[in-house]
Chain A
């Protein structure tokens, strides 16, 4: 079973920051937090991952709370192409996908 809890859907206005929350209260010390997204009819796409520290790359930022029980994925300037299902995953050895958050970007 997935070890994370995410809201089923969210809306965000185009050009604004999209903040996607994820709870992973049972995370253990050596488990990474991964984010993937799946655009309609495509395979999941890796976004970012982290262990303890906040991370940033060209796609997004990942903020992990100090107790590591929750995290937030930030898309700084959402575009219509960011409409997708976003999966937050706590990974030990293998990735188990939950239901994710369906993000709608509103024009």
Chain B
């Protein structure tokens, strides 16, 4: 049963530290999404990649957040420096997009980040 995996599942860090979250998309999927969820804002799309190229990162604070796909099996989301307002659950999702047809996103279990 193919699944999206995310590491770490929980992360507690202090303000100013660098945080790296990792995602392994489902093998064969060509699109990867990063979302952030907080009680106040709900689920927000931060960025997404297709065929490893960034398509849209307009939802991401550029000064401290960066997202990359070093290869097809790994996506990373980095925060440097981290701030308490970054505390949230970060979800990765992957999907297979072919043309303009429908595609389904499969979500990972999330990384719960707490910045003190």
Contact = CB atoms under 8 A, between A and B. Distances in A.
Given A30-B100, A43-B91, A49-B102, A95 B45 contact: yes
A69 interface: no
B33 A43 contact: no
In which size bucket is the chain B interface?
Answer: 20 to 34
In which size bucket is the chain A interface?
Answer: 20 to 34
Nearest to A30: B100
Interface string A72-95: 000000000000000100010011
Nearest to B44: A97
A65 interface: no
Contacts of A95: 33, 45, 105
Nearest to A47: B104
Contact of A94 (B42, B56, B104, B108): B56
B116 interface: no
Contact of B104 (A42, A43, A49, A97): A49
Interface in A23-68: 30, 32, 34, 36, 38, 42-46, 49, 51
Interface of A: 30, 32, 34, 36, 38, 42-46, 49, 51, 87, 91, 94-100
27 contacts: A30-B100, A34-B102, A34-B104, A38-B43, A43-B4, A43-B107, A44-B93, A44-B105, A45-B107, A46-B104, A46-B105, A46-B106, A51-B102, A91-B102, A94-B33, A94-B45, A94-B48, A94-B56, A95-B33, A95-B45, A95-B105, A96-B45, A97-B42, A97-B43, A97-B44, A99-B42, A100-B42
